[in-house]
Amino acid sequence: MEADVSRRHPVTLKAVATHLGVSTATVSNAFNRPDQLSSRLREEILTAARALGYDGPSRQGRTLRTGRTGIIGVMLSDGLGYSLGDRVAGDFLGGIAEVLDARGYHLLLLTDSSRTERQSASLNGVADGYLIYGSIPEENTMALLRHQQQPLITVDIRLPGLPSVLIDHRSAALAIARHALAGGARRPAIVALRMTLDASGGRLERPLQWSQPNQVATERLAGFDQALEEAGHDPEQVPLWNVAGNTFEAAAPVIETLLAEDKPDLLLCMSDRLALTALSLAEQRGISVPGELKLTGFDGIAEGQHRRPMLTTVYQDSYAKGVTAARLVTGERHEHDICQPVWLIYGDT
């Protein structure tokens, strides 16, 4: 005869604690603050809770008691599908997840372009804090900033009054460009990544004047320009081509036209994906790298290091950036601005 479960009273946290002979605080920590317990004790509590039919503390009740939701939101400037498929963004999210998992938080992913200002305002109180990840804060992100009372941390950008986690894009771009130009280059060109929201793919004319510039791209361009000037080139005369998205599909038509029209002997690329696209197209055209064409990337993704010729690039630890950002938004760290280190990878290109 089957048991009639419809009349059973719900199992409480106190009942689990009594069953195990531990305090209610210990059981609560197993669900909400796992870093406070040994992994063995936590697993013992969770196993017993499952056997008794206890699913964990009520989220609504916990929020009312503590004023916290146990959720951290991440606002992505790019689409969710792209961000999950992109190696740099994926590593960043992986670092966040490591910290949040260990501390019993849940991760809420949001995309900048998917929300109206009213919807952004409605997010107030949904999460215990937000990470704003991306190089161009769109209007919906700014709406989030206006309405939120929870901690807000920016990643890869600076916004007035907000803590940030980032790298020194200008110094890194300067270093890689100096290295590339040291061997001599007569026809350098720059492949930029999403210089602004209102610029499509193709050649850009200087001086650059936009209403919504990309902070990351602007800083990297400044580093490239300084190195070019030091090497005797007029940056205003160096071809500058913009790619609207960090994918092969977006980059290939732009770089194909660049190679045909300008015939560069050096490409300074603002991402490894752009550099790898250029490398692939050069190989298809029979252009030897680095003999006829030298090129550099930025990010240090594994794909550029697991091939020959190996990509010369700037390496940034995106996973560590995610860990740092998560620790900052959860209150484990308290610095206002954290600048992560980068390294040059001296490859073959």
88-96 mean pLDDT: 91
Examine residue 127 and state whether it is found in any structural domain, yes or no: yes
Q: Which pLDDT value is given to residue 91?
A: 92
Examine residue 343 and state whether it is found in any structural domain, yes or no: no
Residues 180 and 311 in one domain: yes
Residues 209 and 293 in one domain: yes
Q: How far apart are CA 159 and CA 238, in angstroms?
A: 30
144: CATH: 3.40.50.2300
Q: pLDDT tens across 220-262, in order?
A: 999 999 999 999 999 999 999 999 888 899 999 999 999 999 9
Examine residue 26 and state whether it is found in any structural domain, yes or no: yes
Flag the least confident range among 81-95, 118-132, 281-295.
118-132
Residues 307 and 272 in one domain: yes
Domain containing residue 258: 169-316
| Sheet of 202-204, strands arranged across | 202-204, 240-243, 188-193, 266-269, 294-296
Examine residue 271 and state whether it is found in any structural domain, yes or no: yes
Examine residue 286 and state whether it is found in any structural domain, yes or no: yes
16: CATH: 1.10.260.40
pLDDT > 70? residue 136: no
Examine residue 146 and state whether it is found in any structural domain, yes or no: yes
CA-closest candidate to residue 67, choices 146, 143, 131, 150: 150
Q: Which pLDDT value is given to residue 62?
A: 54
Examine residue 17 and state whether it is found in any structural domain, yes or no: yes
The pTM for the full model equals 0.77
Q: Which pLDDT value is given to residue 58?
A: 58
CA-closest candidate to residue 53, choices 22, 20, 21, 13: 13
Residues 324 and 219 in one domain: no
15-44 mean pLDDT: 82
